[in-house]
Structure 1
């Protein structure tokens, strides 16, 4: 016999004998070992269970049930990082592994990574569509980030789709008891300029109420600008059209020179797959001596605990090119949707934020081509009982003077908002 063939045959025989001896020593198949590991894990002997599961996975790395159970034991012992790693190994190979999705979502819920849990639940439903268990986990994750009304809507749809579900009904009743249908907000802000302009101040009081058809809000604005003061009254509606489509309608009225006499606005908001959202709308400003129409919209996305949104403004100008401006909003959320830090960076003349004065004449028209940049920092946080909400703002503005091109005015601003929910 050829020496090489002899050595190969000999090595094969040695390996076969060793494997047979190991099986004889344990006397158990991988399935039998997995069943034993299950019993150990469920009887609080998780260290022993993990030893056995890792031995199974050493021999059979693609035994997904064993890896999922190993991940769960880590999660039960609050070792969320190792649990996440093991769940990811399964889901990277099998996107239809429902037990792995459920375990991965629960692991993030246990770890208080609520936005990550919501992202995983959304992703799981892209692969395993219309699933009862994953749908319920999505509602739980949604309520965990503080979006209780949205979670209630999801649970309502869940119950209509899947019929009677004891867990879903219990969570639905619990969340309904938490909903505050009324809220009252008070905000104040001030802005100080380095040259030309006197300080400005604003005060706002608003009342908001949730209804089965959407929210309704009324507000009163007080403004002091350029040595003039005035009051504006407004009404806002947030009708719910479908689970994924909402609208915002607004109307404001004022007889003061520093506000438009009439402001009419409308916008449609769409919730899209992959944690995206978009909107499209416009506003009409009716000033004493002129009018302006501003087209706007937004594109936003959630990535983990972060939210990014860009909003452009396009103002058509008769016999000229349109005026463009925009704002980028970046937020990092805490444990709930009510807690975040953020920044808004804007470029161009934003009609909702700026008015000018020249030769003691207020320029209310928003159709202007001025170079302008603004940075606002925002910190929002709830009270300990989650019934009250605070928002702090600070900003800086650099803007070209209308009567002196290429010369700029700087300003700093600060504001505070308090909202009581009941």
Structure 2
């Protein structure tokens, strides 16, 4: 009788083991389903039951850690992860989970170590490479982040949302650059044979503090018969979050051809991942103050950035000055390379030379089209060029044409 019982026990052992495996698998899939339904507490309880039945079942322990992180049970998640890293440091999902745990502990250095470990086996994993960009930016390793952003842009297929994220991060990485520009405005004979061409020379230096970019600039302009003069201005691009940033500008001059003071502010906020809203104002003091409000919307679509913008004001004699712009920019394989087309009606307060033309007569109009390109050579040298055509009301009875040429060179270091 004892022999029969022993034989039965031996025969039933595989069945019992298989039954236990089935039960732990069942617990795992039930817990995972609850996790994806955001029922984290229930998922946690099932995951704990699974671990009690099978302590070496790593997938269910990983799921338990995720449920604890989702409930902000950081101490419990750390304890479970410390055990996991001891018994199974090379298990496939451990490095990815390690990034999440390290970031929740505000340990970006350790998070970067886990990212690099994961990328050793999955060098082209887009999501992890994007995560590495964010970590590098947090650590202040902006130069390395820039190279990685450019490589992701070339190698990985990115969504419209990821395009916006990469372009924003690339701007915030703020490499030091020196730029020199020459701008030439030519005028038709309708302006008078003695009008002469206008030339502007600009020198600027771009630098960053944290993720905020600053661009001080010196301008010198020769306006032919109107005289010449210089202006100092500075642009700033403060970053408040990954969805909210600003543009600000202040300029001063003692020359008659420039405003005594100019100030600009635009706030940008991202909605629906790929749409960007803009709102702000422009202020120019040319002996008297000129105010204008600006509203705009932008959309990333494929490798295109499409932006529509309107400037409204000043309002004089019951007539509101209005400027409407449509910008279409196409990025190429290199994130620094693009072409653009800008169509506009009316005069923007950002066009310092032209704004005075209409401030006393809001019925005067101007239509313009500008085409331009930007190209990086190697990793340091950037060439920018554009050509624009302007059709302008000079007076109520007379109109004229302008052609604008702009050429710039930047060196990055």
* TM-score of Structure 1 vs Structure 2, range by shorter chain: 0.5 to 0.7
Whether 1:268 and 2:267 are equivalent positions in the alignment is yes
Pairing of 1:306-325 with structure 2 (within 5 A):
306-325=304-323
Gaps of 5+ in 2: 1-35, 37-69, 71-98, 118-131, 148-172
RMSD: 2.8
User: What residue number does 2:59 align with?
Assistant: none
Q: 1: distance between equivalents of 2:321 and 2:400?
A: 21
Q: Structure 2 vs 1, CA of residues 356 and 347 (structure 1 numbering), >3 Å: closer, same or farther?
A: closer
Compute the displacement of 1:297 (Å): 2.7
Q: 2: distance between equivalents of 1:326 and 1:319?
A: 21
Pairing of 1:8-407 with structure 2 (within 5 A):
160-161=103-104, 164=111, 166=113, 168=115, 171=132, 172=135, 176-177=143-144, 178=147, 181-195=175-189, 196=191, 197-227=195-225, 228-288=227-287, 290-353=288-351, 355=353, 365=359, 368-384=362-378, 386-402=379-395, 405-407=396-398
Q: Structure 2 vs 1, CA of residues 392 and 238 (structure 1 numbering), >3 Å: closer, same or farther?
A: same
Gaps of 5+ in 1: 1-95, 97-129, 131-155
Q: 2: distance between equivalents of 1:328 and 1:363?
A: 22
Q: 2: distance between equivalents of 1:274 and 1:236?
A: 26
Q: 1: distance between equivalents of 2:341 and 2:254?
A: 33
Whether contact under 8 Å (1:260, 1:364) holds in the other structure is no
Q: 2: distance between equivalents of 1:336 and 1:225?
A: 37
SS in 1 for 2:339: strand
TM-score (normalizing by structure 1): 0.57
TM-score (normalizing by structure 2): 0.58
Q: Which is further off, 163-172 or 406-415?
A: 163-172
Whether contact under 8 Å (1:292, 1:367) holds in the other structure is no
Whether contact under 8 Å (2:142, 2:174) holds in the other structure is no
Q: Which is further off, 224-233 or 178-187?
A: 178-187
The number of residues matched between the two structures is: 261
Q: Structure 2 vs 1, CA of residues 316 and 264 (structure 1 numbering), >3 Å: closer, same or farther?
A: same
Whether 1:421 and 2:412 are equivalent positions in the alignment is yes
User: What residue number does 1:55 align with?
Assistant: none
